Amino acid sequence: MNLKKTIMVTMIISSLCMTLAGPISVKAVSANEQQQKVEVKKINIDKKLAAKLQKAVEQYAGKAVKLENVGTSEGENLAIVQSTDGKYGVEFAPNTQKIWNVFEKIKLNKVSKKVQDETLKYLKKAYSNKKYVFNDEAVKIKFYNNSKSNISNDYVMYILDGKDFNANVRTNPADQGVSVQATIQVDKQSLDSKMLKTAQEAIQAGFDHQFDVKKARLESEWTQREWILQDDTATVYVLNGKPVSIINELGNKVTTSKELTEKEVKEAIAPLAKQVFNIDISGYTVKWDSLFKDYRFIDKGQVTVVRAALDADKNLVYLKTGSRAAAGN
């Protein structure tokens, strides 16, 4: 397991862990590709931050650890620095220099049998038509308490993966509780034909594109099962058998509110929202979101029900509903 690669491609799970014990972003998707193309950046570490990161890692390791001089970041929010021997690492926010967690690469036999058994049980329940065998290496993560400048032992996270699957496992030492979030790659031939047809119809309606699935994966978290289907051009997210987001991966959305009027956006999006999601947005308010550079359709309860982006010719770039619309992801 390439520790840096594994950790770097896992910076999507912040929202999951913020609800648990503070944001840990480490998510094992080493067998997957991210939906959005993110530029990897080098982060310079000043002496003050370097000392802080060094202290955190050595508290975790219980020994002297030499860190690399440069961090790596995907996006603006999180970055990592790992040890020169590749065994340890620390994740932090470059802007605030707040440390989120410290992690290490370990052998699978260092993960308890209970954790392994519970994870396998969850994987089989999420998708039974697959054999699950863990790789011999795993990643162990602990949160960092910035107010006390020490490692928190409230929760311990593990990344367990294998051929075409991975699992993020949260354990609670106090009550021995185990919860799992998993990503499972699935062959196109194994997909439910009804779901596949629904996805193809959604892409056809949104982009006038013949959708030919090349990659499919299941994202499973607690009781929620979301399918992500892709070809070379488009991506569709399917939840409970219905499409909840469609994306033109080759689209170039407008990035300012000056290029299209809210009226133009609403006229373009309304029929698509109705056709793809059966949502009537005629009575919704349209607002430009300067953070995500897209348009929000807000109901009377001030909830973002639909989120959309168009290109300069008013062609759809993406259309999202549910939690993805509300959160902007």
pLDDT at 175: 81
- Upper half-sphere CA count for residue 211 (Cβ side, 13 Å): 28
Question: With contact defined as beta carbons under 8 Å apart, do 109 and 33 qualify?
Answer: no
Question: With contact defined as beta carbons under 8 Å apart, do 315 and 294 qualify?
Answer: no
pLDDT at 29: 31
Question: What are the E-state strand segments in 195-254?
Answer: 215-221, 224-230, 234-239, 242-248
What are the pLDDT digits (tens) for 11-23? 433 333 433 333 3
Give Dmax (Cα) for the chain: 62
Question: With contact defined as beta carbons under 8 Å apart, do 43 and 79 qualify?
Answer: yes
User: What is the domain partition of the chain in residue ranges?
Assistant: 3-180, 188-327
Question: With contact defined as beta carbons under 8 Å apart, do 180 and 250 qualify?
Answer: no
pLDDT at 33: 36
Report residue 129 as tokens.
């038509």
pLDDT at 278: 95
| CA–CA distance, 236 with 202 (Å, rounded to integer) | 8
Question: With contact defined as beta carbons under 8 Å apart, do 30 and 51 qualify?
Answer: no
- Low-confidence residues of the chain, pLDDT below 50? 5, 8-36
pLDDT at 38: 56
What are the pLDDT digits (tens) for 277-294? 999 999 999 999 999 999
Give the contacts of 237 (CB within 8 A, at least 6 positions apart): 226, 227, 228, 243, 244, 245, 246, 324
Tell me which of 3.90.550, 3.10.450, 3.40.1420, 3.30.160 is the CATH number of domain 188-327. 3.40.1420
Angle between helices 262-277 and 193-207 (to 10 degrees): 160
pLDDT at 16: 35
Question: With contact defined as beta carbons under 8 Å apart, do 115 and 169 qualify?
Answer: yes
| CA–CA distance, 189 with 244 (Å, rounded to integer) | 22
Question: With contact defined as beta carbons under 8 Å apart, do 220 and 184 qualify?
Answer: yes
Q: First and final CA of the chain: distance in angstroms?
A: 28
pLDDT at 1: 57
Report residue 281 as tokens.
């947005």
Give the contacts of 277 (CB within 8 A, at least 6 positions apart): 242, 243, 244, 306, 319, 321
Question: With contact defined as beta carbons under 8 Å apart, do 286 and 232 qualify?
Answer: no
